[in-house]
Structure 1
Amino acid sequence: ARALMCRSDLLLLDEPTNHLDLEAVVWLEGWLKSYRGTLLLISHDRDFLDGVCTHVVHMEQGTVTLYSGNYTAFERLRAERLALQQSTFARQQREVAHIKSFVERFKAKASKARQAQSRVKALERMELVAAVNADSPFTFAMRVPDKLPHPMLQLNNVSAGYGDKPIIVGVKLSLAPGDRIGLLGVNGAGKSTLIKLLAGDIAPLAGERVPSQELRIGYFAQHQLEQLRPEWSALEHLRHAHPKETEQVLRDFLGGFAFVGDMALAPIAPFSGGEKARLVLALLVYQKPNLLLLDEPTNHLDLEMRDALALALQDFEGAMVIVSHDRYMLRATTDRLWLVRAGSVTEFEESLDDYPRWLAEQEALDKAREQPAGDELEAENSAAARKEKRRLDAELRKKQQPMRNKLATLEQEVARLTAEQAALTEALSDAGIYEETQKTRLMQTLAQKTQVDLALSEAEEAWMLLAEALEE
């Protein structure tokens, strides 16, 4: 807050969304969009980066590369660059092998010695292209639960809180295998209280919590990072929880979370917050839970680990309830949203993209309710105007739906043409296609690439025009 309040020409933010709730992230995103100075930002939140950034600086293996556009554009452009780099690397390796073979065959022959020496010098002058190394270091998956009871857990008219003060009241819900639920609500509304209630960390003040006898909970919360033993290694933490497993099985499993070699055996005292979070997640996954309760699991995690976690959760066969300010994670892993507000827990009927608008409307309604009695008529008029605006907005969304459908179709077409373009570029990088016997295939490939380039350009332009029309 202090950084934002100071008038500045340059704003430096290092992971500003860590520990913020979703509502605060949405507010900060809006504020930064209107900031008139230069912003330099480090973040692992895709949606946040997409919302505020116009350029991306990517640092990898000692090099710095500048990309134009937001994070989504960066991912597409980097994928294209990596595809081209891999194609160029493969072609160059074939050329190097050919030169080395020539030198080995003819370096001892006097008649070919000069040519062989010339090839050696050409090889020395060649600027070698690096092989692409873009694989994620994370290769874990959720373990299949032993049992999937139905229902797993029920809350019957439960109230919960601390001391004798309830935070949430009258909660009725049932969790079953396959449930994917994201919790929405401002800080202090009771999201973490609900998670703790589901986990059994706190007892109901009223009502009944009914777990299945076969319920096995995997619970992630930030305080668990502080409960790790700093003098223990990652392997010792896992072995302490599962003493009957062999060391090799445990080390193989930890390798999926990038705890390999000495890192798996060294004390965790110097671990970063992200590394500790990875270890807690590894301990959780190994338990084979059938119900996951995740309270801000992406804090401190880098983008690669967030991607790996999202993929693992998509394949999870049990039930999951998650609190997260990471909108990408919520979209990727949940299909239902529960709203925790004013002491109640209800289904949020709209989409995650509608949530910022809904928040703004609720804030306006709350302010209207707080107006003095003399302003009641004005408040009523304001409420009527908001109601009319919501009706008009709903009407506009309905009218725009065909355009949104068309936009989604165009996005798929752009992705298809981009992949086809990369394949044709790779085909043209093969030296064999330029041989006399391949002349017909070369001409066909060139003609096809020209058509694909044109189609891709037209599709991207159509997408841009349609996206701009939807924003107006």
Structure 2
Amino acid sequence: MLIALQDITFEFGSRVILEDSSWHIEPGDRVGLIGLNGTGKSTLLRIINGEYSISKGSVNKSKSLTIGFFNQDLLSFETDESILTVGMMAFGKALELEKDIERITKELEDSQTDELLHEFSDKLHEFEALDGYNMKHKTAQVLEGLGFTTSDLDRPYSQFSGGWRMRVLLARLILQQPDVLMLDEPTNHLDLPSIEWLERYLVGYNGAVIIVSHDRFFLDRMVNKIVEVYQQQLHHYAGSYADYEVEKELRREMQQRAYENQQDYIRQQERFIERFKAKASKAAQAQSIAKRLDKLERVEQTDSGPSKIRINFTVDKTPGKILCTLNNISKSFGNIEILKGTSAEINRGDKIALIGANGKGKSTLLRIIFGMEPMEGERVPGHNVVTSFYAQHQLESLDMNSEILDELKNFGSGRTELELRQLLGCFLFTGDDVFKKIKILSGGEKARVALAKTIISQANFLMLDEPTNHLDMNSVQMLIDALNKYDGSLVLVSHDRYFVSQTANKIWEIVDGEIKEFKGTYNEYEEWKKRMAAQQQPASSKATNNNADTKKDSRQQNAAPTQDAGKGAINKDIQRELQKQQKQFSQVEGQVASLKERKAGLEASLGSPDIYNDKAKFAQVESEYQDVQKYLDRANQQYEQLFEKIMQLEANLIS
């Protein structure tokens, strides 16, 4: 065990953050630490790091334990050293040895004593044991993995923006290889390629990792445990975030049933007491029951789960079929070419996600589509298009002297105050928060107000630049639900892959200055990329084998006509098998849909208060629900297996 939190209680003034909570962190743990904003996730990390003292309980750590903590406070670090030098600070001991070795080398030029030679030998051995000769290479590798170019490595740290500085500090931290690596929103400052690199790195990380993140995709890929901070307690779940959601709902249902059963029992006992407390023959029994009720450990009623408030977009006008056409667009910043003679078209109903690395021109392209960025080429707007653009720079359009609620009222959407307050609640402004002045809000809070204004704009074409940056998971899900019901079209930029996978029906990527379009969802796009990579791999392996063995190459050339003749037959066999699997896949897909529908009907029945009055009926419905769940699990498993077979057959057919 690396760390043991035992029955800890922590308070901020009169507010209890954690009460009698325990958590044991083991080697190899990959933990997602989750909870609503303000519940104490970052506070808990600081308790583990020794920054905050608890009022009760104990925090035990192994003696030699090292902890690395990535958080926003690291930005207070300032230096004019190069980012490569800053990254190499992770190798503190090796750097000290390197200086000692340089000093001894100079001294040996004047005097080669035995003592000096022994010291030199010892230092070299220790330096080599610490892999000091590779520290520069390792640092460069990690920095480039996080998005820096080779030419960036010698640039001063002070020249970079806050987001890029955080990447340097993240690189330094992971190069230190602490026993426990704590990451507070690590993906906030990363683009998609950098997030994917970080995922690959963390998969092979030897220490324990604790992650606070609103990125569901990242959590699902990274963690094997979930710890939720909820109602001043730590609740532990095994598995990924998706597993947590299923288990959380089951626990909520079980607790609610236990609560309802206990309430029925209490009501029955109270009726008995009320009826017989004055009757001499039953008074003692009634008194005994009353005492038992006083000592009864009460089951708490569950909360209602995530907010059921829904965000709704309204569209004022229906646009023409084509919303925007880009013809032969080029854009440069100095010597840097962003777009080179590229063309594209946005049609009614398109929900396009612009993805790729930072610096490829995603936000620039958004501004070109909107008509606010000068460029070479032609931009043709469509008929009846009403556009609303959400981006960080739109914060400047907010009236700093207005209250939040008035800012939305004055926007002229026609919504009632209740509707506006419900909408602001979705964006984490509750109660009297709606009366705060815009000028006193943080950058993140202003961004949420600007996003709320975008939603009530009645536009039929939305442009969204990183809309989820300052939202919690519940708010992100509400925004996803709203965008899926939205009748208009949109183009969005986001590094939140879950958000993209749930909202986009087309993917645009800027490659070598051109817009490359993929018609399909993000998940389908990722599968397509994997198939393309798999097709390239055998070709390169075949070329390597041919060059390595000339005799084998000769035999292959002699046999080539026979192989070519047989290739058509093989392709036909694959095609027949593919058709067979696709037919079976359609059947299983229908079964899954039917079972899901049946499951939803049974869940509705189980949620009805009437069914609890009939124990036999409740038992029958619950048994049927369990059977349907088993069949659905099997069908889902068969669905996934068939999908993988089809992907493999398609890849074999193409290659």
Given candidates 299, 310, 316, the residue that maps to 1:145 is: 316
Is contact 1:158-1:170 (8 Å) kept? yes
| Structure 2: gaps spanning 5 or more residues | 1-170, 549-569, 649-655
For residues 300 and 517 of structure 2, the distance between their equivalents in structure 1, rounded to whole angstroms, comes to 51
| Alignment match, 1:307 | 477
For residues 128 and 430 of structure 1, the distance between their equivalents in structure 2, rounded to whole angstroms, comes to 23
Is contact 1:106-1:112 (8 Å) kept? yes
| Alignment match, 1:352 | 525
Percent identity (aligned): 34
| Structure 1: gaps spanning 5 or more residues | 369-376, 383-391
Residues 1:234 and 2:407 aligned together: no
For residues 353 and 145 of structure 1, the distance between their equivalents in structure 2, rounded to whole angstroms, comes to 35
Is contact 2:612-2:618 (8 Å) kept? no
| Alignment match, 1:337 | 507
1:106 Cα deviation (Å)? 3.0
For residues 36 and 469 of structure 1, the distance between their equivalents in structure 2, rounded to whole angstroms, comes to 33
Matches within 5 A, 1:31-46: 31-46=201-216
Residues 281-303 of structure 1: per-residue CA shift (max 9 Å, x gap): 10111111111111121113211
1:154 Cα deviation (Å)? 2.1
Is contact 2:505-2:519 (8 Å) kept? no
Given candidates 96, 114, 117, the residue that maps to 2:287 is: 117
1:237 Cα deviation (Å)? 2.5
| Alignment match, 1:280 | 450
Q: Give the residue type in structure 2 aligned to 1:178.
A: G
Change (3 A) 1:363 1:322: farther
Q: Give the residue type in structure 2 aligned to 1:69.
A: G
Residues 184-212 of structure 1: per-residue CA shift (max 9 Å, x gap): 222211111110111222122x2222224
Residues 1:104 and 2:277 aligned together: no
Larger Rg: 2
| Alignment match, 1:47 | 217
For residues 409 and 326 of structure 1, the distance between their equivalents in structure 2, rounded to whole angstroms, comes to 31
Change (3 A) 1:146 1:260: farther
Residues 418-451 of structure 1: per-residue CA shift (max 9 Å, x gap): 76887898899977445xxx5xx58856865775
> Could you state the TM-score of these two structures normalised by the residue count of structure 1?
0.78
Match of 1:348, SS?
Answer: strand
| Alignment match, 1:84 | 254
Matches within 5 A, 1:22-33: 22-33=192-203
Q: Give the residue type in structure 2 aligned to 1:93.
A: Q
Match of 1:172, SS?
Answer: strand
Change (3 A) 1:445 1:329: closer
Is contact 1:143-1:288 (8 Å) kept? yes
Q: For structure 1, which segment, 217-226 or 451-460, has the greater mean C-alpha deviation from structure 2 after superposition?
A: 451-460
1:68 Cα deviation (Å)? 0.7
For residues 638 and 590 of structure 2, the distance between their equivalents in structure 1, rounded to whole angstroms, comes to 11
Match of 1:160, SS?
Answer: strand
| Alignment match, 2:465 | 295
| Alignment match, 1:194 | 365
| Alignment match, 1:65 | 235
For residues 18 and 363 of structure 1, the distance between their equivalents in structure 2, rounded to whole angstroms, comes to 33
| Alignment match, 1:385 | none
Q: Give the residue type in structure 1 aligned to 2:324.
A: L
Q: Give the residue type in structure 2 aligned to 1:171.
A: T
Change (3 A) 1:335 1:33: same
Matches within 5 A, 1:314-325: 314-325=484-495
Is contact 2:307-2:474 (8 Å) kept? yes
Q: For structure 1, which segment, 182-191 or 350-359, has the greater mean C-alpha deviation from structure 2 after superposition?
A: 350-359
Change (3 A) 1:468 1:287: closer
| Alignment match, 1:14 | 184
For residues 202 and 588 of structure 2, the distance between their equivalents in structure 1, rounded to whole angstroms, comes to 27
Match of 1:4, SS?
Answer: helix
| Alignment match, 2:381 | 211
Q: Give the residue type in structure 1 aligned to 2:177.
A: R
1:213 Cα deviation (Å)? 5.9
Q: Give the residue type in structure 1 aligned to 2:357.
A: V
For residues 623 and 489 of structure 2, the distance between their equivalents in structure 1, rounded to whole angstroms, comes to 51
Change (3 A) 1:39 1:285: same
CA root-mean-square deviation = 4.3
1:408 Cα deviation (Å)? 6.3
Residues 115-134 of structure 1: per-residue CA shift (max 9 Å, x gap): 32223222222222222221
For residues 362 and 5 of structure 1, the distance between their equivalents in structure 2, rounded to whole angstroms, comes to 34
Is contact 2:342-2:513 (8 Å) kept? no
Match of 2:437, SS?
Answer: coil
Residues 343-380 of structure 1: per-residue CA shift (max 9 Å, x gap): 1112136733236648978999xxx9xxxxxxxx98x9
1:164 Cα deviation (Å)? 8.1
Residues 432-472 of structure 1: per-residue CA shift (max 9 Å, x gap): 445xxx5xx58856865775686578668878988999999
1:110 Cα deviation (Å)? 3.2
Change (3 A) 1:73 1:213: same
1:262 Cα deviation (Å)? 0.4
Is contact 1:424-1:449 (8 Å) kept? no
